Structure 1
Amino acid sequence: MTSASATLPTPARLAGAAPASRVEQLKSRPRRPGEASFFFYDAHFKADAVKVLPGEYFVHDEDLLIMTTLGSCIAACLWDRQRRVGGLNHFMLPEGSGDSGRYGSFAMELLINELLKRGATRSSMEAKVFGGGAVISGMSSLNVGQKNTEFVLDYLKTERIPVVSKDVMDVYPRKVCFFPASGRAMVKRLAPAQGETVVAQDREAAAKAQPLASAGGSVDLF
């Protein structure tokens, strides 16, 4: 005889519980090293979204909104036009000590390798590049934004990944929105006066996400 308890509906079935939203599913998913994890619903775009902080990246094959805010930093949006998968990173300086997504050389490797794991190929990738603004008054002699911009463009040229559009340098901080399944990217130039605020937020986020290595050769972030 079959036990009566085996046929009783679970509380979830009785209540008709709805399946978890995509944002909830993404929040509960294990996070890879350097992968963005700040998920939310964006009311303006009416879309599930993830915010990429300094030193982070995110790759997806659905039109989840990937967004970030940049000062002198760079965001590279890479998209495979055949596989229709894409991703975005956010790095602060071209080079530095240790393996950290805050540095361009490692950030680009993280992003490309994750795309390759998702079935992308270098021959069908294309790039859109944003950021590199001279956003802090009195700091133009350091040319951080220019160095970041030159680095990423040289890197992509070496990797033979064509840059199909870019909005770089000048004096503006920027908000970037990227839809990885379609490859669509949008950029909003913010008021130059917001530049120092953006950089301060970047520094705070980077310090929380990935502390600087104690080894010699570390670079102050600005």
Structure 2
Amino acid sequence: MIKTGSNFIHVGQIHVDTEPILISTVLGSCVAVCLYDKRVCVGGMNHYLLPFWNGNGLQSLKFGNISIPKLIESMIDKGAKSNTMEAKIFGGASINFSSCQTMMVGEKNILVAREILNDYKIKIVAEDVGGNSGRKIQLNLEQGKVLLKYTAKSNFGDM
């Protein structure tokens, strides 16, 4: 039975659990990677804002190249194995910004997720990425399923 309670994650956060809970977030150009290992019933989600930490300042989970490996390591610490994990990727919407470089942040966030998961040989079994709409997602750790709802373009932002 699913435990109730708020397990909402914000930018730069990760939640990994063995309990049958719901983890949710809201995405615009940010990306969330959802991992699940049905063999040991461990699941988790991250939420990152930018694809790469460039080495300046502190390392942070708001960067995909930091957040995704940390999510995978946290799953392994709870008993999961990379060869039995399945991944689902969400987010990476295009948002109209003034600079060309920031317009591509959603696409770059998606690419970094695919590349890192491929490096770890974790199979991507589903994704809903890109486009112009934000997404609200909820990962059900009892079954490893994700419920997705689109948000109106004018009403979304990364949280």
Q: Which has the larger radius of gyration?
A: 1
Picking from 137, 150, 156, the partner of 2:117 is 156
What does residue range 67-78 of structure 1 map to in structure 2 within 5 Å?
67-78=24-35
CA distance in 1, matches of 2:77, 2:3: 29
Q: How big is each residue's C-alpha offset from its partner over 1:34-75, in whole Å with a ceiling of 9 and x where there is no partner?
A: xxxxxxxxxxx9932311010000011122110000110000
Instruction: Report the equivalent of 1:23.
Output: none
Structure 1: distance between partners of 2:99 and 2:92? 13
CA distance, structure 1, for counterparts of residue 136 and residue 95 of structure 2: 13
- TM-score, normalised via structure 2 length: 0.90
Q: Which has the higher helix share?
A: 1
Indicate conservation of the 8 Å contact 1:135/1:173, yes or no: no
Q: Is 1:119 aligned to 2:71, yes or no?
A: no
Distance of aligned partners of 1:133 and 1:65 in 2 relative to their CA distance in 1, 3 Å threshold: same
Q: What SS class does the counterpart of residue 5 from structure 2 fall into?
A: strand
Separation in 2, partners of 1:108, 1:84: 19
Which residue does 1:106 correspond to in 2? 66
Instruction: Quote the Cα distance in structure 2 between the aligned partners of 1:181 and 1:53.
Output: 22
Q: How many aligned positions are there? A: 154
Query: Which protein, 1 or 2, shows the higher relative CO under an 8 Å CA cutoff with sep ≥ 6?
Result: 2
Runs of 4+ residues deviating >2 angstroms: 45-49, 135-142
Q: Which has the higher strand share?
A: 2
Question: Within 5 Å, which residues of 2 pair with 1:1-222?
Answer: 47-96=4-53, 97=55, 98-136=58-96, 138=98, 142-195=103-156, 198-199=157-158, 202=159
Following superposition, the deviation at residue 94 of structure 1 comes to 1.0
Question: 1:19 aligns to what?
Answer: none
Structure 1 counterpart SS, 2:118: helix
Identity %: 32
Query: Which one is further off, 92-101 or 135-144?
Result: 135-144
Q: Distance in 1 between matches of 2:151 and 2:97?
A: 15
- The answer to whether the Cα contact below 8 Å between 1:78 and 1:87 also exists between their aligned partners in 2 is yes
SS at match of 1:119: coil
Q: 1:140 to 1:180 in 2, by over 3 A?
A: farther
Distance 2:46 2:60 in 1: 12
Query: How far off its partner does 1:159 sit?
Result: 1.1
Unaligned runs of 5+ in 1: 1-44, 203-222
State how far apart, in whole Å, the 1-side matches of 2:109 and 2:90 are.
10
TM score, norm. by length of structure 1: 0.65
